[in-house]
Structure 1
Amino acid sequence: MSHRRVEACDSWRPPRSARAGPPLLFRAGPRVPAFASLSVRETGEAAAAAAVAEAVEAAAQRAAAGAGARGEEEGTTTTTKKKSAQRRLPPAAQLLRHPLALLALVPNSAALFAAGAGAGAAAKTVTAPLDRTHSVRVAGESAKKGVGFLEAIADIGKEEGLKGYWKGNLPQVIRIIPYSAVQLFSYEVYKKIFRRKDGELSVFGRLAAGACAGMTSTLVTYPLDVLRLRLAVQSGHSTMSQVALNMLREEGLASFYGGLGPSLIGIAPYIAVNFCVFDLMKKSVPEKYKNRPETSLATALLSATFATLTCYPLDTVRRQMQMKGTPYNSIFDAISGIVEHDGLVGLYRGFVPNALKNLPNSSIKLTAFDTVKTLMATGQKELDKLIQENEEKTN
């Protein structure tokens, strides 16, 4: 009995249409399955069976690979469309019904800078009566006439009426806006810089961020601070521009930066301690109380009090070195001179009125800024919710 020998050869051939064109496998429309073409010639029966099995298996693998590639391409397209839908903003009419969502459309940096400026202006306006009362008491001391706190408040109301408590507030607000904006905005920036690789911010990182923020804002606005102090204590000048011209003509440009060293050394630890303690205390508050304004206000008041007690002596030295004709050439000269003349109590001279004036200001400023940050986060959640709802309706 003779045995026939067959050999098999397979080839991958997707079906073609009657007309010339690309294979249907790669056309849009219904999916057309591919097939394997098999040609056989005489050879051994065992070899033929093995060849047939190998050809069928190879064709199946190629078909599966082609289907997988098409599925992957379709999945990528679907993902891209989904991301595009997530980025699609709600219509203007819908955004107008949700004002907080509109806040999320403002660039984060611009929103933080504006929040810092607004927080400083609000704090200065709210505490303007305290500033005005402090100024009246300083004027009374200069005239060798002791004026008590309550007496000063009563005198202002009697002589100038209610608006007298806010006399001179506009120049103060104009001065504080750039200082507060730079300080609070740069603190958020420095926190990102000092963040660890795991995304957490250590206590040292918070202290460093606060110190850098305080020094940055002081460098930017220091000449205005010197002018304000000169205008408050010197007589014979009615405007800030006159004081500035006289300083430039008589003392040179360096007079605008007199006492800058002590100011940097004084403000750096104060802002570092104040902001760091505020953040850490807010972080330890239970979640249900964390976003309440009264919680921020209480936390800010405690942190500002602690920072003021710690750093007030450096502020005393700064004021002494800013005065015209100061006998002190360095920080150490000023500290030793004050202690020798007035004792350790001299480093805390004027602490109570300063605390009454500055603690509410610092507390309100941090509270206002923290409240705006909370509104920004709420607005972002509101915007994400609107986008998700619109996407679900579309699907």
Structure 2
Amino acid sequence: MAMRGEETGVLVCRGIPGLAAAAEGRGPPLWSRSRLCLRTGDPGGGGGGGGGFAALSVAEKGERRRRSECEPTPAQLLKHPLATVALVPRDAALFVAGAIAGAAAKTVTAPLDRIKLLMQTHGVRVGQQSAKKAIGFAEAITMIGKEEGMKGYWKGNLPQVIRIIPYSAVQLFAYEFYKKLFKGKDGELSVVGRLMAGACAGMTSTFVTYPLDVLRLRLAVEPGHRTMSQVALSMLKEEGLASFYKGLGPALIGIAPYIAVNFCMFDLIKKSLPEKYQKRTEASLVTALLSAGLATITCYPLDTVRRQMQMKGVPYRTVLDAFPGIIERDGVIGLYRGFLPNALKNLPNSSIRLTTYDTVKRLIAAGEKELERIKEENRLKQNGAAADI
């Protein structure tokens, strides 16, 4: 007789439909269609011995126990910390890696970004009446230091960091997703597939975070020391919700080729290197610099158009208005205002992001191998112990 509170085994017999057919030889043997289930419970408890728990077959229970015994112990994980990386879901690890890489890169290069924005939008801000429609790199640096001090170089960086965390994470995560989507029937990804994956990833991340990008620009170029919430409320009250999406068209048009060229060139150059160099961080860094440089030269004019369309009171309504308008006012060179600080910012920015992401991907792969190795060792030990009994 079982004591109250103890677990007891309950043998459950189930009726087998079509038993007569099996007995006459017209169906599979009885043993193959029945299942012995072992249930545990407290027969003295409130629900009796048959309720409040799941039934597992002996085979299923044994399989779960074997898997559990093969899992690494805390002592093994402490001895092999790399294996702990594999315990984090792969997608979550890649998402977090993209977010951290993006935030760090943007904060380091924030002063160059502020200088670039001032150079890009100076002509619109001072108006057509001003004789001085452009400012140089050195002049922009001096102007910020004189008017706002050291913290002025990081003005507008908070919404940028808030934006870049989801932006970078979504972009890099989406690129991996779209690469799988655009793979051919043979499982290989063509150059066109890589370009399409990069373009779609760029547009996805831009659309999701665009209002924060507009808010960051306004904070960076408008005079005064207003907070992010003050600028946002002012825009909403004076210009409406649509003001947070001004310039979205050229932003999507500009980011699609930029990310497509950048990511595609990074993958292709890296793939063309000898295998012994592909896993080196220096190779990732140089590859990222080359791919970012080519993408920046190709797509910069669209970035200038986007920035000017984001400004309050800008005379351009469409991309077709903006291009001739900028050329008429500033010449062709006007499309490349701020290119130098942008290149100085973008190259290390993109390099840090892609190199960090590439490194984390390799780290995850190494962690997965280490975890499998520990599990295999535990499996062999378990089999050896079973053989000794």
User: Is the TM value for this pair above 0.5?
Assistant: yes
**Structure showing greater Rg:** 1
Distance in 1 of aligned mates of 2:118 and 2:374:
54
Spell out the pairing of 1:101-116 with structure 2 (5 A cutoff): 101-116=83-98
TM-score, normalised with respect to structure 2: 0.72
- CA deviation digits over 1:347-378, x for unaligned, max 9? 21221111112221111111111111110011
- CA deviation digits over 1:181-235, x for unaligned, max 9? 1111111111111111221111111111111111111111100110111112222
Q: Does residue 267 of the first structure (1) align with residue 249 of the second (2)? A: no
From 235, 239, 246, the equivalent of 1:258 is 246
Distance change (3 Å), C-alpha of 1:83 and 1:207: farther
Distance in 2 of aligned mates of 1:150 and 1:388:
64
Distance in 1 of aligned mates of 2:302 and 2:136:
26
Q: Does residue 239 of the first structure (1) align with residue 221 of the second (2)? A: no
The Cα of 1:151 is off from its aligned counterpart by 9.9
The Cα of 1:382 is off from its aligned counterpart by 0.8
Contact 1:125/1:169 (8 A) holds in 2: yes
Distance change (3 Å), C-alpha of 1:84 and 1:347: farther
The residue aligned with 2:267 is 279
Contact 2:77/2:83 (8 A) holds in 1: yes
Of 239-248 and 340-349, deviating more is 340-349
- CA deviation digits over 1:32-77, x for unaligned, max 9? xxxxxxxxxxxxxxxxxxxxxxxxxxxxxxxxxx9xx9xxxxxxx9
TM-score, normalised with respect to structure 1: 0.71
The residue aligned with 1:180 is 168
Aligned partner of residue 217 in structure 1, secondary structure: helix
Contact 1:127/1:357 (8 A) holds in 2: yes
Q: Does residue 391 of the first structure (1) align with residue 379 of the second (2)? A: yes
From 339, 348, 366, the equivalent of 2:336 is 348
Distance in 1 of aligned mates of 2:287 and 2:220:
32
Overall identity of the aligned pairs, in %: 69
Distance in 1 of aligned mates of 2:342 and 2:162:
21
Distance in 2 of aligned mates of 1:271 and 1:140:
27
Contact 2:166/2:209 (8 A) holds in 1: yes
Which letter does structure 1 place at the counterpart of 2:247? G
Contact 2:113/2:341 (8 A) holds in 1: no
From 358, 366, 370, the equivalent of 1:370 is 358
- CA deviation digits over 1:227-284, x for unaligned, max 9? 1111122224511111111111111111110111110001111011100000111111
The residue aligned with 1:196 is 184
Runs of at least 5 residues in structure 2 that lack an aligned partner in the other structure: 1-28, 33-58, 127-131, 384-389
Contact 1:137/1:152 (8 A) holds in 2: no
Distance in 1 of aligned mates of 2:224 and 2:154:
23
Distance in 1 of aligned mates of 2:281 and 2:179:
22
After superposition, the CA RMSD in angstroms is: 3.4
The residue aligned with 2:348 is 360
Distance change (3 Å), C-alpha of 1:127 and 1:349: closer
Contact 2:198/2:263 (8 A) holds in 1: yes
Runs of at least 5 residues in structure 1 that lack an aligned partner in the other structure: 1-65, 70-76
Aligned partner of residue 88 in structure 2, secondary structure: coil
Which letter does structure 2 place at the counterpart of 1:352? L
- CA deviation digits over 1:309-342, x for unaligned, max 9? 1111111111121111222221112112222333
Contact 1:101/1:382 (8 A) holds in 2: yes
